[in-house]
Structure 1
Amino acid sequence: MTETDHRPALTARQYSLLDTTSKLLGLGLVAAGLEAGGATPTGFALAVVGAACATATVFISHE
């Protein structure tokens, strides 16, 4: 049985837009986490979600 790549594929333009958007959203969430207090549970949660958003495009392939 052959394994196939099941990651979603996007055009270069779609990927670029998604990549930029996810990084800006991640940056905004990390900044909000720091503003809320980096050592607080809310601040930490926002920072973790922001980092996940910023790196989400690593798992998406583009043409």
Structure 2
Amino acid sequence: MTARVADMTVDELKQLISESVHESFEDLMEDLAAMNSPSYIASVEEARSQYKRGEIVTLDELERG
């Protein structure tokens, strides 16, 4: 169901904005924590190396198991 802003009450719009800001802030905090994790950085570097070497799995392969 898609709601239009014009059909929302002021309180509904405030709640929507509040929830969106809260979710965005949580995502940002998670990203900051991850970027400060040496193991996370190492896993990203390894994934990039694997990609460059062609060591990838397609979505179809994942779905087939």
Give TM class, smaller chain: 0.3 to 0.5
Between Structure 1 and Structure 2, the one with more helix by share is: 2
Task: Work out which of the two has the higher radius of gyration on C-alpha atoms and give 1 or 2.
Answer: 2
TM-score of the two chains, using structure 1 as the length reference? 0.46
Higher RCO structure (Cα 8 Å, ≥6 apart): 1
TM-score of the two chains, using structure 2 as the length reference? 0.45
